[in-house]
Each structure stands twice: as structure tokens, then as C-alpha cells.
């Protein structure tokens, strides 16, 4: 970072510095009692802000602001026990004045007289500038999105409880993303519960960063050519939990999650220009692309001539498409051997296996979930209460 003229704060890239100096601020005003609630807040991180070991920092150099209004009905009515509605919006700017986020959202939830609960959430996000997508390169645009999510759950007091959730999103570039999940919980005894939760997620990403190549002819992007792709990602999972309370002082928790995820990369492209949303697909809008199919476990190799015989050098890369098969599970035995003093015995197992297929084939992948290489971790933790 480079220090600004005052010498107090860092604000630009300088590889010779050994420390950063910045500032942060958070201000919130709100009303938190009654049937009408509201809040307005701003969160600021200067470009030189860096908190080192204090916590995890994903980015700095932004001014974020949001406002929300909530109306709640806590007295039961003719068809509900409680209702709540929220309307709000948010936006964010970086220190160059670029708007990197703007959206509005609505939320509503209700508990019916039979104790069933439902909720829905919607947001509209504008097409905004993105100063991180090129991993340090120029600012480009990210597509706007409309997204809706809804859930419905049955009476949580019953021995059998169900919950369903679904979501759907559509992007300005014609992408569609959706997900579905359900959870069924069974409590045959007061000290025993079993739940299973299958889920499926389908996500389209129109501009997934792949890698960057040096190219002196790419003057618009300061000597680099940034490779992107459209990615269709699909994920299939099953969450399973078993909880047993032997005594108030002795419990056992078991968890297992078979997991299959794939990402199919296609339409390799580059942004047409900085600060724009438009992209040029290789072989269709610009340049040429060829491929050599992989053999065995090796990935397909692509070669791109970005200007189809012009002065720009060709570059090659391996197909990043993937299929991951995973099984994660753990068992936790908790024993409070004296008041305030606890012993934990923990076993965690992870199995992972990967292909370059880029799709999900249940017949091929289901068995591989359980046969992949395993990593086992055993942990013993003891707490002792000193009554001073």
C-alpha cells in the first residue's frame, strides 16, 4: 500500500511497505421495541484497514449502508399466531466511488394457529460494478439478479416434523439457479431424535474466473488476458442426524452427509472491456478455440488463439470441470462427569474422491461416496470446573 499525502493512512499498492494503516467505523440507529421496528446503519473500512490476528478479514476499502423496517403482529389473530414483515435495502461503494452493491428486499413470516410456520424472502439486485472479479485487475460489472426463497414447516411439538424449502433465481444474462431441500425429523422417544434431509442445488454462473495470462497485446486490460467461463454447478446431498440423551449428563450425537457436487465449464470467454458486463466467447465472438480430449483421468486440454491469427500469443489450459464425491461424518459423546466439568470423545471421518467429469451420475457416483480414501480424526477434550 502507498501512504497518502498525510502519511497517516495507506490507500494504494506499494510492495515496499511492511505495515498497513487504516480505520474502521460502524454506526447504527434503530428502534427495537413495539410493533414497528426500524434500523439504519453504515459500516466503513478504509483501504489500509488490516486487523491481522484479531479476526478474519475478507476485504477492506468500502462504505456499506443499509436500512430496514419491520412490522410485527405478536397478538394471535383469526388465522395466525404471529406475523412479521420486513422491507429494506442496502448498497455499497468502494473508495473510488464505484457502486459495488445495491439491492432491495422483502421478507415475510407467519405462524398459523396450528403451529405450522412459513416464510418467504425476495430481493432484487441491480447490475453493479465488481472490483474483485479479476483478482486484482480492472473493474468489471456483475449481472443483476432476482431471487426468491420460501419455506414451510409443520408443528415442531409433534413427534414427526417436516420442513420444505425452495429457491429460484434468474440473472440478467439469462442464467437460472434453483434449489430444493426437505427435512424429516422423528422423535419416537423424548430422549431420541432422528432426522434426514436430502437437498439438491442447481446454480448457473455466467462469469467464473479461470485464470489470467500475460499478453502484451491486451492493452485494454494492462497486459493481461483474463479467462472466464460459464459454469453449471449441481450439488446433491443428504444430511442425517441421530441424537440420543442417555441421561442429562450423557449424550451422543451422530452426523453423516453423503455429498456429490459437479461443475461443468463451457463457453470460455473474456470481458469485452473494463467496467462493462458484455463478454466475448472464444470461437464465437472472437478468436478461436480448440481442444484435445484427455485420456484416463487426465482432463481435456484447450488452446485459445484470442485474435485468430493476429499478434496475440495463444495460450492453453486444462478443463477445470469437476465431480466431487464426499462423505463427512462425526460422532460426539459428551459426559458431564461432575457439575461444570465435561469430557468429550469425538470421531470425525472424511472421504473424498474427484473426477474431471463435470456431471452427476448417481449410478457411478453413489458407491464412490463410501469407497473414497478416508481420513479419520480422534479428539479427546476435557473441561474441569474450578470452584473458587
CA-based nearest residue to 73, from 18, 113, 34, 122 = 34
Q: How far is residue 100's CA from residue 62's CA, in Å, rounded to a whole number?
A: 9
pLDDT at 4: 43
Q: The pTM is what? A: 0.87
Q: How far is residue 300's CA from residue 201's CA, in Å, rounded to a whole number?
A: 26
pLDDT at 57: 82
pLDDT at 331: 97
Residues with Cβ < 8 Å from 346, sequence gap 6 or more? 330, 331, 332, 333, 377, 378, 379, 380, 381
CA-based nearest residue to 88, from 142, 124, 130 = 124
Positions in the chain short of pLDDT 50: 1-6
Amino acid at each position: 500500500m502507498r501512504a497518502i499525502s498525510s502519511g497517516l493512512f495507506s490507500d494504494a499498492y506499494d510492495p515496499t511497505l511492511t505495515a498497513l494503516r487504516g480505520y474502521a467505523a460502524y454506526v447504527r440507529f434503530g428502534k427495537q421495541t413495539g410493533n414497528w421496528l426500524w434500523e439504519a446503519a453504515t459500516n466503513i473500512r478504509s483501504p489500509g484497514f488490516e486487523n491481522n490476528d484479531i479476526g478474519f478479514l475478507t476485504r477492506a476499502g468500502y462504505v456499506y449502508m443499509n436500512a430496514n423496517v419491520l412490522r410485527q403482529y405478536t397478538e394471535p389473530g383469526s388465522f395466525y399466531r404471529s406475523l412479521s414483515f420486513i422491507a429494506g435495502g442496502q448498497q455499497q461503494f468502494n473508495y473510488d466511488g464505484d457502486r459495488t452493491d445495491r439491492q432491495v428486499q422483502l421478507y415475510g413470516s407467519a405462524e398459523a394457529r396450528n403451529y405450522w410456520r412459513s416464510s418467504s424472502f425476495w430481493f432484487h439486485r441491480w447490475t453493479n460494478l465488481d472490483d474483485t472479479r479479476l483478482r486484482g485487475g480492472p473493474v468489471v460489472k456483475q449481472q443483476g439478479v432476482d431471487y426468491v426463497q420460501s419455506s414451510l414447516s409443520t408443528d415442531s411439538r409433534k413427534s414427526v416434523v417436516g420442513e420444505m424449502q425452495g429457491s429460484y433465481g434468474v440473472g440478467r444474462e439469462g442464467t437460472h439457479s434453483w434449489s430444493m431441500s426437505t427435512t424429516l425429523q422423528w422423535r419416537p422417544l423424548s430422549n431420541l431424535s432422528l432426522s434426514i434431509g436430502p437437498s439438491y442445488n442447481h446454480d448457473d454462473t455466467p462469469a467464473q474466473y479461470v485464470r489470467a495470462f500475460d499478453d502484451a497485446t491486451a492493452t485494454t486490460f494492462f497486459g493481461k488476458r483474463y479467462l472466464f467461463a460459464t459454469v453449471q454447478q449441481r450439488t446433491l446431498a443428504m444430511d442425517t442426524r441421530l441424537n440420543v440423551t442417555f441421561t442429562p449428563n450423557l449424550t451422543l450425537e451422530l452426523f453423516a452427509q453423503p455429498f456429490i457436487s459437479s461443475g461443468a465449464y463451457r463457453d470460455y470467454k473474456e470481458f469485452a472491456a473494463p467496467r462493462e458486463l458484455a463478454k466475448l466467447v472464444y470461437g464465437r465472438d472472437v478468436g478461436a478455440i480448440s481442444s484435445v480430449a484427455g485420456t484416463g483421468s487426465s482432463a481435456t486440454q484447450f488452446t485459445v488463439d484470442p485474435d485468430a491469427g493476429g499478434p496475440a500469443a495463444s495460450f492453453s489450459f486444462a478443463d477445470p470441470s469437476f465431480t466431487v464425491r464426499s462423505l463427512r461424518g462425526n460422532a460426539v459423546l459428551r459426559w458431564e462427569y461432575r457439575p461444570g466439568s465435561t469430557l468429550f470423545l469425538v470421531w470425525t471421518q472424511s472421504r473424498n474422491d474427484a473426477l474431471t467429469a463435470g456431471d452427476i451420475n448417481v449410478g457411478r457416483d453413489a458407491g464412490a461416496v463410501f469407497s473414497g480414501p478416508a481420513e479419520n480424526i480422534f479428539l479427546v477434550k476435557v473441561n474441569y470446573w474450578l470452584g473458587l
